[in-house]
Structure formats: structure tokens, C-alpha cells
Chain A
Amino acid sequence: MRVANYRKLFFGVSAVLLLLSVASLIAFRLNPGIDFTGGAAITAVYETQVSSSQVSVALARVDQPDAIVQGSDGNTFFIRLGILELDERDAAGNVVRRGEESRVRDALAEVGPVEIGSFDTVSGIIGAENVRNATIAVIVASLVILIYVTWAFRRVPSPFRYGVAAVIALVHDVFIVLGVFSVLGETINLEVNAMFITGVLTTIGYSVNDTIVVFDRLRENVARHAGASTRDLVNLSIRETIARSLNTSITLIVVVVALLLFAGPSISPLLYVLLAGVTVGTYSSIFIASLFLVSWDEGEIGRFWRRVRFRRAAA
């Protein structure tokens, strides 16, 4: 198995996946949940069978025509609403005017006997903060990884390359996961929420962990086989670690699938990210991070940049 010799094939595959992801992100965007936009999310459990249109009509009657009502079994419905006004109170705390939230509760009860399983509200301020915090978290995580990997491989020649390679694999994984999510958002209405960001960060952690295992073997082989080319060393290291990479991924995927099949829908964004993230993370640690080192070593990265710059100058 001489993976490094076919690196252009793998780079090509990744380039296509990345382009598809970016295209999908532009076309479909992400489907942000209330954590990021503000708004309300309700799980309503009816004791009798009702239809989602009955629920929608009842909500439209209390000025919530844009409510998204999902649910297939006729009992449990997931409802998404915009930001709801609360009851207005006087100085003594007595309700002087009933707000949208109370009216929504009333409307749901009118359809039939109902239990509110969960009712979450998030204001616009928190939503905006969450967007900012999530962005900062992903950037900080990437920087921390760049610094850490460079430090961990400080004894091998040009450790910075290892750090850059790990971060490239990580950014690759994040974009593809985002791309997958824009498709899932469009098709099954899956939302991007704080748990999604948690999943993305966990994917980053997993992807880097996986990359480090391959790099660790490379580090060992560099010390053991002085004078061998990076390409041969990478081939050897991948061959030696591929069983571990696949086995670990399989156990993780088994666990995530078990969660996806049995655990409730409130953490499903997290689980879908992990499923996509573990898969693409395993792929990138083998075929992107390590092969990128070979390309850099053989001067292909420099040539690529020069060509891009030349083209831009020509245009």
C-alpha cells in the first residue's frame, strides 16, 4: 500500500468534497436553531391523535403563522417559533397584559389535552452572543491545535509543517461537516445549535487525535530510518497505523449509531456531526494531513502557490 504515491487522487477527492460543501453552503446555507437566532422551541405531547395542520391553524390564530410544526406520530410535535413576548407586569409583579408566550400555550391546549414536554426560549441577545462565542471557540481551538502539534513534534525536522498539516486536515473536516449539515438542514430540517458546535469541536479534537497517532508513528520512523525519504516514511507509517485508525473509528461509529438509534432527538445534531466528523476525520488524518507533509517535502506546495499567483497575475 503506497498511499503517498496517489496523493493527487486523494487531494482531488477532497477538493471535490470541499467544493460541493461550499456550493451547498452557498445554496442552502445552514439552518440555525434558536440558540443562534433567538426564538422558542416547544415539544408538545398530545394525549389524543391530532394533525400537525390543526396545531398550525391554532397557532396562526394567535398570530404565529410562521410556526414550524414537525411531528409524524400524531402525538408528539416539535414546534419552532420566533421570539415570544412575555406577559407584561406592573411594578408589583401582577400580570397586566398576557404576552405571546401565554397565548401560544393557550392555543396548543385548545387543540386537545396536551402536556408541554419542553419549552425553551432564547432572546436575540443570547443568540448573537452564541454566534460570536461559537466562532471564537472554533478559531481558538484551531490555534491551540496548531501551537500544540508544533510543540509536540518539536524534535522532528520542521515541526511547524506538522502543525499546519494538522490544522489543514481540521479545517477540511469542519468544512465538509458544515456542507453535510447544509444538505441535512435542507432535506430533513436539521438545525444548527449549540450542540452542533459542540459536535464540531469534538470532531476537531478527534481529527487531531487521529492525525497525531499517524504523526507519532512518522516521528518514530524518522528517528529509526535515517536518510529515508518522507514519502517512504509516510507510506510506512500509514501502513502501520491504518488498522488502529479504522478500528477506533469503527468503535466510535458503533457507539454514535447506538445513540442515534435510541437516544432522543434533542441531541441528534450532535450525533449527526459526530458521525460525519469521525468519518471524515479518519479519512483526513490518513489521506490529507500525512500526504500534505509529503507534498510540502517534495516542494509541491510552493509550486502550487507560484502557479496560482502566476495565473492571478496573468488574469
Chain B
Amino acid sequence: MVFADLFFLYAFLPACLLAYFLCKKLKHKNLVLIIFSLIFYAWGEPLCVFLLVFSAWFNWSVGKYIGKHRKEKQSKTAVAVGVIVDIALLIIFKYTGFLVENFNFFFHTQIPVPQIGLPIGISFFTFQAISYVIDCYWETVEPQKSFRKFLLYLSLFPQLIAGPIVRYSVVEEQISKRKSTAADISEGSMRMIIGLAKKVIIANNLYAIVTQFFGNDISSLSVLGTWYTVVAYSLYVYFDFSGYSDMAIGLGRIFGFRFDENFNYPFICKTISEFWQRWHISLSSFFRDYLFYAPVFGRPRKYFNLFLVWFCTGMWHGAEWNFIFWGLYFGIFIFIETKIGKKRMKKWPKVLTHIYSKLIIIIGFGIFYFTDLGQLGQFFLNISGISMLTNGSALADAVTWSSLVNNVFLLAFAILVSMPVLPKIKHFFFEWGNNKVYLTGKMLATALCMFLLIMSSILLVDSTNNPFLYFRF
């Protein structure tokens, strides 16, 4: 199940909220959340729900074992076993096909490629589990004694299938002690609705542009058409993913959980390093804390670890070469930036750093999009204008122009909202203004959210759109 779905919004969620808020004791509330989370997961993965429960049980056991053997050799073995098993599960379920295909390709073998379906959200919950066992070993968290509570942490449906990667340390206390205040419920609901609108109103309609131009063979696409589409795609990924994170954070908030922010207006960055401090923060901080600064292969070697981190970041996004290229591509620019030095880059004109970083990011999303390497090559020909020589492509074309004119407000709005405009408005109403201004702001926000909820729901009706030319009753 996904959040941007009418059945989730008007069947699953109300049932869950009703059951949750009817319970008085936190113990029962937690039980409600576990049951609904498992139903939520089983809805999309009827079989792999057992994998989720196993992963929870296994990592909980490892944590408990580490807790028992603090400062002893066994704890080191236990954390190693825990991490290795977690990564092994991830590799088996996510990368087997990719590894076998490439083995066949490089060694000219004919090993049959196994068809293993990727369990939804495995990349997210496995990373949460890894962070937990390592934190237990580092003694930054107390191992959880109750399996039920640990299962709640790992399976909690708001963040289960698309992040953010919530660290155990963040919710450790909230699992056993939390309250949903009126502010939590109201602000959480609004956050959730804003996330829904980002996904349904902005992202889905941007994606229509992307499929119109990148959906078919792109060799006849014009140069400006390619630029136009890759910009739309960059915005799409941001609104889709950050919208999902907003929904997760908002839903968590309704239940009294406070997750860390996952996006912080990434497109206002001036360098690539800054971009990654603002984009999918829970993932980049995971790699920073557990891979970059961690002595995984003996003592940390700065540049080796840097490229290892970016290889893994790319790989994490999917079992395709383009994702690995995408990660390493960012690794190269971050390497260059560290060589130049932060201080020196700060002295550069702002316009220049903005243009530089946006160019790299937007072209990066092109690499992210094209899993077909042939098409990726064509993308580079198009975007560089070389296709005008090799394919005789046009610089611009009327279809692009027609699409741009038809979506100009959507794009302008998307660009505006991808910049920190909302925090400025929030600051005016909720911090700068007096009580009357505060109340007015709150009522305006409520009205806006209701409009967004209704409009998103109406647009979701169209998600099963499947017209026929001829009568099919």
C-alpha cells in the first residue's frame, strides 16, 4: 500500500486512527500500530511480511546479546554477524539478479538469472536494523528488551516503505513514552496533507511530462526538449520523495512520534556537498556515520572511504549500473570540492556556485533516470547538443514548446515551492506576528490543507484512468 491512494486515505488510515485513539493505554496503542503496520506491509508483500518480522526478531536478538556481553569480545562478533546477515539479506533480495547478470556478461557464463522480487522497503528497514545493532555495539543506545517494542520501531508503517531511515536513537524514548497533543495532531495532519499534495498535485503531473518525452526513444528529442524534461524530472523526484517523507513525518507526528527531517530545500544548495546535506538526509547521514567515519576496513582512509560511500549510495538506489554511476558521479564532484576547499569555494560568486551546483544535479538526475545505458548515452548526446550533429536533432521543437506553455504555471509553482518560501510564510504567521496573526495563519493553513486534501483526492480518482476507444462495458 502507498500513502497516495484513496484506499489508504479513506479506509486504512481512518480505521487505524480510530483504533489508535480509542485505546487509552500506550501499550494498547503500540499494539494497534504493530497490527496495522503488519497489515500495511502484508498488503503489498503477503509473503515478505515474514521476512520483516524475522529481520526484526534477528536484530532484536543480536542487540540483546550485545547488551549482555558489553565490552566483551562476543559483542564484536555479534555486531559483525548482525551486520553481515542484514547485508546478506539485502544482497540476496535486491542484488542477486544484477550480480548474476553481470557475472554472466563478464565471464561469458550462462547461469540462469533468478527472478527474486524486491520486497518493498527492504533497503529502508534493513538500514534501520543495521544502525540499531551498530548503535548497540557503540553503546549509543540501550538494547531494547521488549521484542514487541522493537518490532514496532522497525515496522512502524509511516516510515516503513520509503523512509526516512529513522534511527533507533531518535524514537527510543518515544516508543515507551509519548503523547499526541492537539498541536501534534493538527500539525501532523497538515504536514501529511502537504506531502500528499506535493506527490499528487505536483509530482504526478510533472511525471506526465517526463513520460511524454523520456517515455519513448529519445534519439529524436530536441536539445532544449531534453533539458526541459530533465529539469521536470529533477523537480519530480524532489516532490515525489520529499512529499513521501512529509507524509511519513506528518503521520508519525499524529501518533506522537518525531522523526528527523529528511529534506531541507536541497535545490538552494551552493555546492554538491551541501546538496547532500539537504537531500535524503537520513541516508547520507547513515553513510557518513556508519561507513565514512567507521573503520570498516581497518583504519579509515579518507578518499578510499569517500568513493566507497558514494559507490554504496548509488548502489543503494537500485540494482542497475546507472545508479552506481550516479553515486560515483557525485563522489567525483565532492572529491573535487574537498580538494578545492570549502573556504575557497565560499569566496566564489554566488551566481556561479548556484549555476554550477544546479547543472551537476540536473545532469545527475538524467543519469538517475536512464537505466538503459544506450538511452543514457543518447541523453548525453542530446543534452550536450552533439545530437544535432550525430542525429540531426533540432535545437528546439514545437512539442516541447506546447508542453512548456501548457505546464508553465505548474513548473513555476514547483520551482517556487522547492525554495524555502513556506518557512518564510510560517515565520511571519507563527513567530513574527501576534496572537491574532497566529490564529489567522492557523485558520488559513487549515483551509488550505482541506482544499489540498479534497483536490488531491479528486486527482487520485483519475489514477486508474484507462480509456478505451470503443465501448467496453
Chains A and B come from one and the same complex = no
Residues of B within 8 A of A (CB): none
